[in-house]
Amino acid sequence: MATTDAHTGAHDPYRLDPADVRTPPTTFRGRLRHLGPGLILSAAVVGSGELITTTALGAKAGFVLLWLVIVSTAVKVWVQMELARWAILTGKPALEGYAQVPPRIGRVSWINVLWILMDGAKILQRGGIIGGTVAALSLLFPLIGEPLSFPSLLTWTVITTASVLFMLRTNRYGVVEKACFVAVVLFTLITVALALGLPLTPFGYGPGDLALGMEFLIPAGTLGFAIAMFGITGVGADEMTTYTYWCLEKGYARWTGPDDGTEERARRAEGWLRVMRLDVFVSWLVCTICTLSFFVIGAAVLHPQGLVPSGNEMITTLSRMYTDTLGEWAMYVFLVGAVAVLFSTFVASTASVPRLWSNTLALLGVFDWSDRAARERWIRIFTMAMPPVWALGFLLVQSPVLMVQIGGIAGGIFLLAVVVAVWYLRTTEVDRRFRSNALLTAALVLSSVAVTALAAYSLLDTLGVDFGG
């Protein structure tokens, strides 16, 4: 009998049962119909990193760091893919894998401890996402007081947080996927269209600007922005970790089934791994296009005017990207789009982080992760408790750009631990036949080296080491 919930009939995504296996699609069109986890990640990263940090970096540095945009989105994909492959083959989420990496500290590993510390810093980043959403809403409809005044920000913080809590009161995978997708697609289309249309405006750019951006330089005064951008744009360490949970809840591991050592299971696993790789590729493509668009707009429109987003004026400054090219009416279009993309990021974070903390409690022995009722109860508790904490962080700090940058630096440091975990789990738990592809292995090696170097650089820079830049 398949492992279904007695009340809802839904399958338990964290339990592998032979009765749940499903033949993978063999055509490209068939694989497209089974995408989803990567689209949730696109919704999560486009709002925070691309809209805030990447645009601010373009405004500060101009086109000279365009190369870093491409590197920061492409270099992490192979680590993400390897971790997801392990999760699908074993049916276990990332934090359980991290707990296996020595040296261990009690029930967990040093990587789990590092994750707990990193997520503390991420509170500021998530507060920054809420802050961006709230600031845009305050400019559109102040409700109480002047736009961006504390009464207006407080009112919209309460409304925004309450609406997300209501939407995710069940925190089901399908709800998250539907809530994120439409908003991101719409805003992405608007942003890409504006970036491509800039050459027709007074803030145009040409081949010379793009060539300058590919000279692999990091100008003085942009190190903090550059490190934060690498940590937060594309798929970061926390998104890589979360992606394994979404892959399991989508059904990739359940449809693959438990490892019974048969050739049939191996072929089935490879089929669902192909679906996962396509899912990763589509997510990477969306993130890269969006990141390049935001950076180019910041470099072409804001940089020549000396406008760098900061504090609660971030949304107002970013709206100049639109008003300076299309007119005052475009500010309102931008604000609606900003609300959509940042709100979708807020939703994605509210859906994912409670899963990670619940799994952490289970690893520490608070409850049994295989007990579905207990697992979902803890996820609901964290879902209701965490967003108000993030919102309070915004109200106390009220600097979305700084808050997102701090979270980005923390994420860059944690990338190093994820790389260590990926290689350990690949060596100890992934059958040789699934890691025999020389091209994928070479890409993973290059990705790991780049991530390790930049994560170490981030750590040393955070500790105050002067690199002379």
Q: What is the C-alpha separation between 382 and 374, in angstroms, rounded?
A: 13
Identify the pLDDT of residue 105: 92
The ranges assigned to domains in the chain are 33-462
Q: Would the pLDDT of 16 be above 60?
A: yes
- Among 18-22, 145-149, 185-189, 218-222, the least confident range: 218-222
- Among 135-139, 296-300, 306-310, the least confident range: 306-310
The length of the chain, given as a count of residues: 469
pLDDT tens column, 229-286: 666 667 778 888 999 999 999 999 999 999 998 999 999 999 999 999 999 998 888 8
Q: What is the pTM of this model?
A: 0.85
Compare 27 and 129 and report the one with higher pLDDT: 27
Average pLDDT over residues 213-232: 69
CA dist 65 → 5, 233, 389, 394 (Å): 51, 13, 34, 29
Q: Would the pLDDT of 401 be above 60?
A: no
Q: Would the pLDDT of 325 be above 50?
A: yes
Q: Both tokens of residue 294?
A: 């935001």
Q: Both tokens of residue 236?
A: 């970061």
In sequence order, what are the beta bridge partners of 109? 104
Average pLDDT over residues 335-356: 83
Q: Are 136 and 335 in contact (CB under 8 A)?
A: yes
- Among 169-183, 292-306, 396-410, the least confident range: 396-410
- Identify the CATH number of the domain defined by range 33-462: 1.10.4160.10
Q: Would the pLDDT of 3 be above 60?
A: no
Identify the pLDDT of residue 91: 95
